[in-house]
Amino acid sequence: MLTMQNIKTHYFFTDSDALLLRELRPMAEDHQDRMVDEFYDYLLGIPETATLLKDSVTLQHLKETLKKWFIGLFSCTYDNQYLLTLQRVGLAHVRVGLNAHFVNAAMNVVRRFVIELLQEHYPNIQERRKFRNAAEKIIDINLDILSASYQEEELKKVFLSRSLESKLIKAAERFTYGLNLILVIALAGVSLGVVALFVWDILHIFRGDVEKGILGALGTLLIIWMMIELMDNEIKTLKGGKFNILVFIGVIIVALIREILISTLRHDMLETQIFLAGTLLILGIVYFLVSKSQQERT
Ligand code: HEM
């Protein structure tokens, strides 16, 4: 955390600079109205800054605060209280959404005003240089503190969005994990249903409907086998493994094979059986292509 003392040291601002500025105070007081008028005329001439100053009551108030700030440049007391006041001004600008560029540009107006004032009052170049150096240092220090508020606000934004981002990602991950868990439980439930279906098919055999029983049981067994694959795949995904699309295509193929088995038993129309066989062929090709592309990637 920077203190006013640190900042003054970094700008080589000495006590004699402070005393020189103190000497300039009467001159600054005499010309404060002119400086404030020039400052706001400049800002009112720029559309982006003029919109922030459209309220005449605010403008009058701002002119008064700017005068105080201007005289403060030549006050000789540059302590931590001074730093705090400037930080508050900086934050006020950030709050109203003022672009930092305009603070820099406006400070340039102040700088030029002070330099011209010195030229008017101190014709001796040696003397003028001393005052000018001190004035330039305090203006730079002011600009530094006013701009720092912007950087700190930017940093806060970055950190806020970063922590928000990681929290969102974590929440999304937990949500997906929860969904996968529900899926596994649902798959287990469905598997139990398929087992019941298998028992039902076996019962057909005992009732004398051997052909229907055996073919039905065969189809159901295929489904149980695919259910095992599906659950296995889900558990692997839960443990952080890769999602395997092939298993899903396999499930559809098995369901279709079962449908074909039943269809022949039902003596469905030829068109239906051709349609089922055609679909099976297409799915077979898709399965082959996907597994080939997976092999190439590994
Ligand atoms: C050299 C640069 C500048 C200095 C030294 C300065 C000084 C100040 C001061 C002393 C205040 C009062 C802060 C408070 O109430 O605590 C203030 C507020 C304000 N300044 Fe500046 N200003 C500068 C540049 C600008 C510029 C370029 C604009 C552009 C329009 C601007 C617009 C405002 C506004 C709108 C407020 C009121 C903020 C609020 O409502 O809280 N200032 N400024």
**Full set of structural domains in the chain with CATH:** 4-163 (1.10.490.10), 167-297 (no CATH)
10 Å Cβ neighbour count for 82? Answer: 17
Residue 96 near ligand 1, beta carbon < 6 Å = yes
Residue 100 near ligand 1, beta carbon < 6 Å = no
- Residue 289: HSE in the Cβ half-sphere, 13 Å Cα cutoff: 6
**Cα 37 to ligand 1 centre (Å):** 14
pLDDT of residue 170: 80
Contact present, 149 and 87 (Cβ < 8 Å)? yes
Residue 89 near ligand 1, beta carbon < 6 Å = yes
* Token pair listed for 233: 């795949």
Residue 248 near ligand 1, beta carbon < 6 Å = no
Q: Which residues lie closer than 8 Å to 43 by C-beta, 6 or more apart?
A: 49, 50, 53, 102, 106
Express each pLDDT in 112-142 by its tens digit. Answer: 999 999 999 999 999 999 999 999 999 999 9
Shortest-distance atom of ligand 1 to CA 65: 10
Of 70, 93, 107, 110, the one to substitute when testing ligand 1's pocket (max ligand atoms within 8 A of C-beta) is: 93
Residue 109 near ligand 1, beta carbon < 6 Å = no
Distance CA 120, CA 139 (A): 19
Shortest-distance atom of ligand 1 to CA 98: 29
Residue 57 near ligand 1, beta carbon < 6 Å = no
Helix axes 125-206, 15-44, angle to 10 degrees: 70
pLDDT of residue 72: 96
Shortest-distance atom of ligand 1 to CA 49: 30
**Cα 29 to ligand 1 centre (Å):** 20
Taken as a whole, the chain contains a residue count of 298
pLDDT of residue 279: 93
Distance CA 43, CA 40 (A): 5
**Cα 284 to ligand 1 centre (Å):** 73
pLDDT of residue 162: 64
pLDDT of residue 84: 92
**Cα 250 to ligand 1 centre (Å):** 69
Contact present, 51 and 121 (Cβ < 8 Å)? no
CA angle 194, 197, 201 (to 5 degrees): 140
Express each pLDDT in 20-68 by its tens digit. Answer: 999 999 999 999 999 999 999 999 999 999 999 988 788 999 999 999 9
**Residue ranges of the chain with per-residue pLDDT less than 70:** 154-155, 157-163, 240-243, 297-298
Residue 62 near ligand 1, beta carbon < 6 Å = yes
**Cα 96 to ligand 1 centre (Å):** 9
Radius of gyration of the chain (CA): 41
The three-state secondary structure class of 97 is: coil
10 Å Cβ neighbour count for 296? Answer: 7
Of 62, 75, 82, 149, the one to substitute when testing ligand 1's pocket (max ligand atoms within 8 A of C-beta) is: 62
Contact present, 73 and 111 (Cβ < 8 Å)? no
Residue 186 near ligand 1, beta carbon < 6 Å = no
**Cα 122 to ligand 1 centre (Å):** 30
